[in-house]
Structure 1
């Protein structure tokens, strides 16, 4: 990936972050006392059981939600609304059916981008994700994997310092998912962006992340917090068959409630 694709990666900091919701049965505390620092240019995965607050935490960093306690900062600035240095990729591509892929990617351009520059940026990022021949296709004419590539290009055209992904490959078939994981790894290493992504897939987390954060509850704290901060000291790009990853996989699965097999 060309040096020109490098972005101004931003760090992320959370201090005492909590998020609770009012329900008919009282206050439901989803997150409590989250303290985190994500280094600029790092890739961090969020793991945890369903309902553990992974997507809530991601939305707080994106500025799509507001904490009920503590604060979130991107590049040292408190997040108040959608932050200009972040971009989000959701589980579903969320492409507008009446726009072609180029038109959908163009929606991610920063406000005020000149028309010629915008066309060049859109074409560049479509090419980066392997869609250079499909700019004029409508979403209904492409596969699910191609649609998600377009969603990734829409985020990248913003040249974000922090790229946020909420289970971006969960709806894809197994082989396409592996290819998309490798594409994301290539893009992150090429741009140098900070990446925070939510996944339920332990193997995906270990293949892509420098750190794996496991959210859960323990003790008397009602809300979820980080119960494990695992540093994956294996150089990227990684071999999925690496024995070091296999050992970490067993540990993470145990933590998530999947015990080792016993003879």
Structure 2
């Protein structure tokens, strides 16, 4: 499936009704070009995951419109695939069977098996195809979750903090894998993360979501950063260091805290 654009037009999401309502997102306007990678940063509760759910069709906006490929999202969006913070693999199925779970039942068995084998090879799990999730590491399980999403060849890949639970070294390696997979598949990517460095490493643009002076009014887009240079990026690029400080400032993290952390 070719990459497709994503558009949010004056999108708001309110939970609850009347006096107990809570506005999470307020009049979000965002255009993501086909094949672009956009990272969403913001404090917990700023609506990042809610925004992904709206694009996936797992939730509906209270106001405004969500478009995928210029077509309004009215239900589960078949051109989008989601990878969550936890792999969410079925424990009684092998890794190969979990990856195959992302394919439609109508596809011929030979075709299904070939696609599953191909994506397990791509994510480096060919030798573990018959292993069950409990028999592999967390990083390997998350690679299987990525393969399960990509085997569908989605036009839009929605990543909801998929690397947050990994140790630091595995996370860096997985960042490189995600970058490689996006560039080889060409999918449009919306990435939710709390990690500024991860956002700068993987994204073409970084969008900061934050509440205004009245937090009860919900979060909006506070700032958008164009990340310089193509990908893959050099983690030592001094231009990224400057952007990192700016983004941390906008997220309320002081430079002293950032250096000591």
Task: Give TM class, smaller chain.
Answer: over 0.9
Select which of 111, 130, 134 maps to 1:140.
134
Residue in structure 1 matched with residue 55 of structure 2 by the alignment: 61
Q: Runs of 5+ in structure 1 lacking a partner? A: 1-6
**How far apart, CA to CA, are the structure 2 residues paired with 1:55 and 1:220?**
21
Residue in structure 2 matched with residue 120 of structure 1 by the alignment: 114
Q: How does 1:8-157 map to 2 (within 5 A)?
A: 8-22=2-16, 25-157=19-151
Question: Which shifted more, 76-85 or 176-185?
Answer: 76-85
**How far apart, CA to CA, are the structure 1 residues paired with 2:6 and 2:173?**
28
Residue in structure 1 matched with residue 232 of structure 2 by the alignment: 237
**How far apart, CA to CA, are the structure 2 residues paired with 1:165 and 1:111?**
24
Residue in structure 2 matched with residue 3 of structure 1 by the alignment: none
Change (3 A) 1:24 1:78: closer
**How far apart, CA to CA, are the structure 2 residues paired with 1:200 and 1:101?**
28
User: How far has the Cα of 1:261 moved from its partner?
Assistant: 3.3
Spell out, residue by residue over 1:25-53, the C-alpha distance to the aligned partner (whole angstroms, 9 max, x if none). Answer: 52100001001100000000000001100
Residue in structure 2 matched with residue 250 of structure 1 by the alignment: 245
**How far apart, CA to CA, are the structure 2 residues paired with 1:261 and 1:214?**
21
Question: Which shifted more, 76-85 or 248-257?
Answer: 76-85
Spell out, residue by residue over 1:75-131, the C-alpha distance to the aligned partner (whole angstroms, 9 max, x if none). Answer: 111111211110000000000011000000001113421111000000000110000
Q: For this pair of structures, how many residues does the alignment match? A: 256
Greater per-residue helix proportion: 2
Select which of 212, 217, 229 maps to 1:218.
212
1:162 matched to 2:150: no
Secondary structure of the 1:261 match is helix
**How far apart, CA to CA, are the structure 2 residues paired with 1:54 and 1:198?**
6
Residue in structure 2 matched with residue 208 of structure 1 by the alignment: 202
Could you state the TM-score of these two structures normalised by the residue count of structure 1? Answer: 0.95
Could you state the TM-score of these two structures normalised by the residue count of structure 2? Answer: 0.95
4+ residue runs of structure 1 moved beyond 6 angstroms? Answer: none
Residue in structure 2 matched with residue 227 of structure 1 by the alignment: 222
Secondary structure of the 1:238 match is coil
